[in-house]
Amino acid sequence: MFRLAHLTDPHVGPLTRPRLRQLLSKRATGYVNWQRGRKDAHDMEVLAALVADLRAQGHDHVACTGDLCNIGLPSEWSTAKVFLEALGAPDAVSFVPGNHDAYVRGSLEGLLHACGAWTSGDDGLQGHFPYLRRRGPVALVGLSSAIPTKPFAATGRLGPAQIAAAEALLVALAAEPEPPCRVVMIHHPSHPGGTTPARALMDAGTFTAMIGRVGAELILHGHNHVRSVAFVPGPDGAAIPVVGAASASARGDARHHRASYHLYTITRDGTGYAVAGVERGLTETGNIADLGPLKLTRS
């Protein structure tokens, strides 16, 4: 049995006051949005409580699917590293970046320079996507959909080269004498219609078609700040779950907007794997508790 925790979109704060020249970009609107409400929507005390609960549950590995940063300031890169260190050592936590981590040109490179150890594949390369990490019966395939965008846009893109490389990895893993449970990590919802056009993965159709050819056992994402479960077709009619988690720091009023994380139990089941998941998160009373199972099979 292998236990995999998934959390996403912590939007670690607080933000330091930017210099004027740092606001001569998309950061200007992002900083205004932070001051007008995002700083209150993302509560670091809630995030700390969630991480403490995650650590207490017992797990073998943590998947973090992006948006450590808010507006891509250099001061955020060291803060992001401190957060990842709190989650666990680089070999125990796998990170892929989100759109806020690539807020403006140069932001992603700065973050990966600080936090690249959490993206190191089994080949030892850091900050190269896709990467592959083997952990017990699980093979984690980390993808980057993070690209800088214009103001008021939050789209992502993988690109043909990354999709082709991911396909080659997934094919090779499936061909092994004892294939591992293949878990794909990405920030944006990877399926068409997973979010609005201004926030979508632009090559979701191409990626989903690839998954339809070669398959995977589980796809994890963030970005939407809500719990969601969708299914995409895999080989031989299989229904592959695509699961999004809520923001790990959100103090929302609505149940589905409050901070949570997911905990998966992966066990061998004949020639394949059985994957079960539960959500743990913030309740109306401010406690962290079990919020119920994730439905990972299509009716």
In tens, the pLDDT along 45-64 reads 999 999 999 999 999 999 99
d(CA 21, CA 23): 5
Residue 131's SS3 state is strand
**Residue-level pLDDT at 257:** 76
- Of residues 71 and 222, the one with the higher pLDDT is 222
Task: For residue 246, give both structure tokens.
Answer: 């809520």
- Of residues 14 and 44, the one with the higher pLDDT is 44
Q: What is the mean pLDDT of the chain?
A: 92
- Model confidence at 37, in pLDDT bands (50, 70, 90)? low
Could you check whether the bond before residue 160 is cis, i.e. omega within 30 degrees of 0?
Answer: no
d(CA 216, CA 180): 10
- Model confidence at 286, in pLDDT bands (50, 70, 90)? confident
d(CA 246, CA 258): 7
pLDDT at 38 exceeding the cut of 90: no
- Of residues 254 and 281, the one with the higher pLDDT is 281
Task: For residue 103, give both structure tokens.
Answer: 């807020």
**Residue-level pLDDT at 29:** 67
Backbone angles phi, psi at 233, to 5 degrees: -75, 140
Residue 104's SS3 state is coil
**Residue-level pLDDT at 298:** 81
**Residue-level pLDDT at 25:** 63
**Residue-level pLDDT at 35:** 65
**Which among 21-30, 148-157, 214-223 has the top mean pLDDT?**
214-223
Q: For 9-30, how does the pLDDT look when each residue is reduced to its tens digit (9 = 90+)?
A: 999 987 666 565 555 567 656 6
What is the chain's alpha carbon radius of gyration, rounded to the nearest angstrom? 18
Percent of the residues in the chain that have a pLDDT greater than 90, as a whole number? 80
**Residue-level pLDDT at 148:** 93
Q: For 219-243, how does the pLDDT look when each residue is reduced to its tens digit (9 = 90+)?
A: 999 999 999 999 999 998 899 999 9
Strands ordered across the beta sheet of 181-185: 131-135, 138-142, 181-185, 218-221, 239-244, 228-233
**Residue-level pLDDT at 30:** 62
